Every structure is written in structure tokens, then in C-alpha cells.
Structure 1
Amino acid sequence: MKDVYLLSGFLGSGKTTLLVKWITQLKNQGLRPAVIMNELGALGFDSDAVEDDVPLRELLDGCICCSPAEKTEAQIQQIMYQEEFDVLLIETTGAAHPVASLDVILSPLFADHFSFKGIVTLVDGVRFLKRDTLPIQTKALYLEQIRHGHLVILNKIDLLDEEEKEEAHFTLHQLNQGARLVETVHATFDFSQVENLITTRKKHEPSRIGKELQLGTRLEKLRRPYPQYIVEEWVQSLPDTIYRIKGYIQLPSSTHPHLFQLAYGMTQWIPEDVKVKTQLVVIGENVEDTPTLEVFAMQSVLKKVYPERNRINKVVSLADLAQVIDEELLDQQSHPRTRKTIHQKQQFLLSKLQAVDCSNWEENCLTTFIEERVGILSTPSH
């Protein structure tokens, strides 16, 4: 998989300078960078700064989050299939919203080829302290770029005195408590530390206003067809901090998958006439704390089988679900003399499943998963 970084920041913050220095350091590390640059104008002036031996694609005459998705997907597919690279750096325009940019970049057509590492947000220290002079909508976008950064780089600190630096640090920390904050002059930074700084971002105790949020993504590979009502129920169960979902879902009654999209609380289903990989890209805050579609489909039935077990409500991944099922099958809470075999517990669990009110699809879905776990637990090496 190719590592992907999104470079965000307001107009004039020094993104292109940072990009060029990042490219140089990647080359010095023996890595092959590739670049996608987005510029608002019809001419790519900033792209001249990128050396000719670096694979480059440009998105001109519009913001990446406002341009047609097909146009962006085509550029990414070109660079993915026609070029050799290890790391993809995507520089957005100063007018781009990070969530909308991710929505366009992480297409379900090729999301499984990429490992999204995070958003690096560059902040011009002088402009930041004068943010209240910006128009209301512009200021709101400016602050959103900062809030969603996984690594925030405070640039041009040589133009700030100590008091101004302290003010900038304090306010940036208030806006984004989870991000690492580093200072730079002329966007000079040791980029070999970027991945480490992002993956070890600071942890904080829950504050008065609630849990710390962090923008992230998740790729869900769908192993089976899903009824539309299950998908809609799953979407209704998700928190408002899940901003976008898009991908391809196979319905039991259709020959080809449907393109599925969630945006602003509204879902959309569009039938396709070709075979594509069935998978979903989820974008939002703390996505790892929400159950996947596959887990939700089985979790809702398991709650009916064991209504008294609150632990089932906390299941968000297949690993969590497997642990719950395995504990039931292994019957570890029973005395060794009365403990049932795995296959006896399987039959007992399936009989309880058949007794609850659920659809045939839901019953078959959980039954198949239980059978998979029985097969794994029954292997001699387990």
C-alpha cells in the first residue's frame, strides 16, 4: 500500500515551500515521492517548484473538494497505475475543507491501495494572530483546517515575539488538543518524524465539553450482500460526527453493486452496471469507536440473543465480536466437569438465535460468523 499525506493550510501559509523540502527529505531517505497539487487558477504556477523527476498531477481551476469527483479520481488513478512511488503527497488549495478533500481523495475504487497517514496543517503565525480580520466564512474555514489537522506546523515563528508565540500556542492547543504542534521558520522541518508525530499524537483526559475528536478514515471491505434496510439502520445508528460514507454495496436482489453515499445525513443509492469491489470508505471523528456495517448487522441480533449483556453494546470491530462469540463457544465460565464442547455450545447458541425475532438474512449472517469461529477454534493449532 502507498502512504498518503494531505497537506492543508490557508493561502500563503507556505505549503509549497514545505512540500518541496518534504520531497527532498523523502528522496534522501531512499523513498520515491509523488505529488498531486491543487490550484485555484487555470495555470499551475506552484507546480514549477516540483522537480521533473517527481511524478506530478495537477488539479487546476478549482478547489479539490468542489471539482467533479471523476476528474480527481482520474488524476489519482493515472498516478497510481502509471507511476512508481512510495509516498503520495497531496497539496490542497488554501480554500479546501479537509473533510471534503478526504471525501474526494479516498474513492472506494482505489482506497484499498492507499494507507492514509494523516493531515499536516500549516499555519502562518502572523496571519493566525490576525484571524479576526478575516470575513466570517473565511475565518470559519481557516479554523476548520486547524481543527482537523493531525500534525499542526506553526510557520514563520521568526516573525513573532515571545508573547505572540505563547498566544499562538495556547489558542492552537485550544482549537486542536489532539494534534502535535511544531514550530518552523521557512517551513523547515525534520519530515522523518512526521509519521511518528501523527501516530503518537497527544492524549488528553475528557474535558468539560466532551470527548476529544480526531478526524480519521476507515475502509470496510464487505464480504457479503446487504439488504438496504440493514444499511439504513446502521447509518441511523451512527453519531453526527460521521461526516461521509461512500462505496459500493451489493444488494441481495441485484446483479451489480449500488454506489452508496452518505453526506449531510442524507443517503443516496445509485445502481451500477459493472462489477466493482464492494467496500466502503468512512470519514469522520473517532471512526474507530463506531461499529462497522458487518459488525452492526450481527451486533443487533446478538443483543436480542443476550439482552442482559451490556458488553455487546461496546462491540465495534470483528475482533471484538469474535471475542464475545469465542467466550460463549469455549464455555469458560462453567465448571470443567460440566463444561460443554464447542459443538454443543454452537448448537445451544444457534437454538437461542432461532428463537429471537429477526429476519432470515440476519440469522444467516450471524450463523455464518459463528460457524467461522467454530472452525477456527477447532483447529489443532488454536
Structure 2
Amino acid sequence: MNHKHLLSITLLLISPYIFSQEKSMQIDELVLREKKEIKCKEYFHNLEPWKEGKLATIDGWGRFSTFEITEENQIKITPLVEFPKEKIDGWIKTYPEVGVIWSSIFELKHHFADIGTKKNVSFMPFFTKVYESTSPLLLDKKHKIFLLPYIATGVYETRYTYVVYDLQNDTLLFHPMQPEKNENFYKSPVIYSFENGKLLVRMRDKNNKYLNEYCMYDYYSDRTYKNKFTQFYSSLRYPMIMKVSNENIFIVSGVLKNEESLKTVISWDEENDDMTVFPLLLPTVDMADKIISVHYVDKESGWVCFTIWSYKGLHSETLEKLGFVNIKNPSIRSIPVVTEEYYPDETPEGEFIAHPVYGTCFIVKVEIAEKPYIRLYKMSDVQKEIEEYLLEKAKSAISKV
């Protein structure tokens, strides 16, 4: 048995003991000082998860492309298709599980590229100045059916409507001009898609007023229902949800009705309606006036990137930091590690990537001396910080026995 395996087993055994010493244990802010910066020689837009350890982006010619970092720490951008090659809104969304990339123009015209079948589609299903479109949800990954949300924000209310698009057959299955179809669905705020035809939807009363209650909606049977998951989600104020594993493991965050903040990891078996809730350990030192938001996840490795807001800069400007925590095994509480660097008051453009030498890394687009760079954080360095911290705590705890 090598040193690494012995260390892992030791940490697994002693972690519960450490955390059992004090229920309201204060976690020190572990700081990650190691980083690497790579100069960008090519232009690209935002980064999204893709396949085989690569990311997806749009290159300087407006083509859907892959983004990767070589062993020599060079950025390599390779076009996947000669599409859409138009001026777009500057961001894309990927659906790696079905091999599809999407972008839009002026939030009206949609571009879909099915990389596996080499099928490219551009269309404008709903022309309106009242509604704005947002990125599609994958409604059914088996049949490549997408839900295209449209939102109209008014002074007194926010209205929702949807287009359902079958990419596989290039067919509109539902359009706002068909109000008689799926009446329970087409005006409700859709919060999350489970990608099997089932959606998490915010409920309305008889007067169409939105409630702080949520239900499941089955698109194919046009049926709404509740379960343990929706009951838990409805118990929160300002809730959000993000899937963080290929298994049904999610991060759910919000504010409990007694005003306590909540960040939890849940494991939910939809078929048996069986749910387990695990606390997500986040920094508590100097965090009383901070807001923590989860933005990026790596479903394979279990690493999660969150932002901590707000810090004050030299000129009282609002800044934030990045933090990392691992939830591969949610029953074992992982300690978060925070970056040394501060970032402007906006979600940094970044993503997890598989580096051929360093393994799982998180990269962020930054400017250094007005030049574009990629800042790279190794998750192996983060893990090293956690292990060293736990060993020190273990020595301290055992010495008191």
C-alpha cells in the first residue's frame, strides 16, 4: 500500500471524528496560493463543458469549436463545424450528453448543431419584442427534445411561455400560439429539467398569481404532482438547484423560512421518491456578511466551484473570491479551499477542464497587463491543502483523547 492510499484511508477514518468534536465547528479559510497563468494567442468566447476532457467555445470566426490545453500548456482551439459563422450574442450552451451545442442572435434566432449527426439548424420560432429568450433546457435527452423559454418582464408581473423543439426531426412540438395544448404548463416558470420529460415548475393559484410552492410536471402526460423532492424545495425561500453528478446528486441552496441560510447536497431517487440530505460544508470564518453562490461543477470528479461575495477593494469596490469543494462522496464532508486572488463583482468566466498532465483543473479568463490569459488552478493542489489541514486537525484531536 503506497503513501497516497494510506493517507486517503487515514483521512476517511479520522474525518468524522474531527467534525464530531464540535457541532458548530468554525472552519478556517484555507487559501490556495498555487496557480499557473497561460497567455491566450487565439480569440474565443465563453467556455462550456464538452467531451473527452475538452471544453466547447466559439472561435474568432464564429464556429463551434473545442478548447483544450496541451501538455506544453498551449491553448488549442479546433473547429467542430463550419457553423454558425454569424455574429452571435457572445455565449453558447452545450449539452454534452446528446452532443449538441446552441447559441443565439439577439435572443431571437436559435442555432443548434448536432455534432454527432452533423446536423446544423437555424430558426426563429417566435418573433416578438415583448418576450426575451433564454438558453434552452434539454427536455428529453433520449429524443433530443428541447424547451426554449421566453420571458416577458413587466412592471407588475413576469410572464412565461415556451417553444418545444424536436431537434432529431426538426419539428416544433409546441408553440405559444397553441394555448389549448398543455394548458397546465405553458405559462408556468420552469425551474429545472430532469431531461426525461419531467420538469420542476413553480405553481400558480386560480388567479394566476405565483406561489412559493413547486411541483413536478410530466410533459408527456400533461400531469402535475408533488413528491418529497418538491416538498423540500418548497420549504426554501429563493431556492436554486444544480445537478452535480451523473448520478442523481444535486446542490440545493436557498434560505429556510426561519431565515437561516442553507447549502445542501441531496441524493434523490425519483423512482422510489427516496431522498437523502447531506450538509455542504462551506467556510464560516468571516462569512457572516458574505454570499456564497455555486456556479461550476465537474460531474466526473465531484469538484464544485463557488463564488464568495462580497469583499471590499482599495476603492470600496465590490470583489469576490473563488472557492472549491469536493462532493464526490456527499456523506464525507469536504473542506472548501478559497483562492488568494480577488475577482470583479461578476461571475468569472471559467470552467473545469481535464489537463493531460495536472488532471482536473479549473480555468478562469483574466486580463494581465491588458492581455488575455487563462489562470489555471489544479484540483490536486486543492486536495493537498485539504489533506494537510485534516492531518493537523487529526493530530490535535487525538492528542486531546
Structure whose CA Rg is larger: 1
Q: Give the TM-score of the pair, scaled to structure 1.
A: 0.22
Larger strand percent: 2
Larger helix percent: 1
